[in-house]
A = this chain, B = another copy of it.
Amino acid sequence: MTEKGGGAPAARAVLQQCLQATLQVKPADEGSEAQFVQIDRGLVMYICFFKGATDDILPKMVSTLLNLRLSESDSGKLVSILELPGSLLIVPQATLGGKAKGRAMQYHNNISKEDGLRLYSSFVALCEKELMAAAAAPARTGAEVTVKHGTYGNRQVLKLDTNGPYTHLMEF
């Protein structure tokens, strides 16, 4: 669960494999309908950064998450999202940083909204880069890889269809 020795984590991720997932990226308003992104088979990553998190953790975090064997292949073998090959839906999820105080959840350890947005954007960009590189590798020609992601700070209206979410927690 924790990749760091001892200290408080800088980031937390919850991971669920899916058959399909749909996420709202823009709520409906007077002028337009709500907008959604969708992935088929792949991995949903809920991501939260804590106070003190910096860009330094991102390369290892992305590499670990994309290479961990968290998905089931057609043959039932566990493979990484890079090997599946599958799609990735990244969901900013600040609530993951919550800590119970009495009956309420508090988020005092969460990163500031501004820094969180910056790290989240870099995280998404790095995932896109790695997945695209993997898809372009000679052995993979033609593999379909998609990275979709929610918009930071918005409500993450999510629909998830799984064949067993196989929920994992990782901290960095």
Contact = CB atoms under 8 A, between A and B. Distances in A.
Interface of A: 1, 3, 12, 14, 46, 64, 67-70, 78, 80, 93, 95-96, 98-100, 103-105, 155-170
The 9 closest A-B pairs by CB, nearest first: A160-B160, A155-B164, A158-B162, A95-B166, A93-B167, A159-B161, A67-B103, A98-B168, A46-B167
A93 B98 CA distance: 21
A27 B30 CA distance: 44
A100 B155 CA distance: 30
Nearest to A2: B99
A165 B98 CA distance: 14
Contact of A164 (B68, B70, B156, B170): B156
A70 B100 CA distance: 10
A165 B46 CA distance: 10
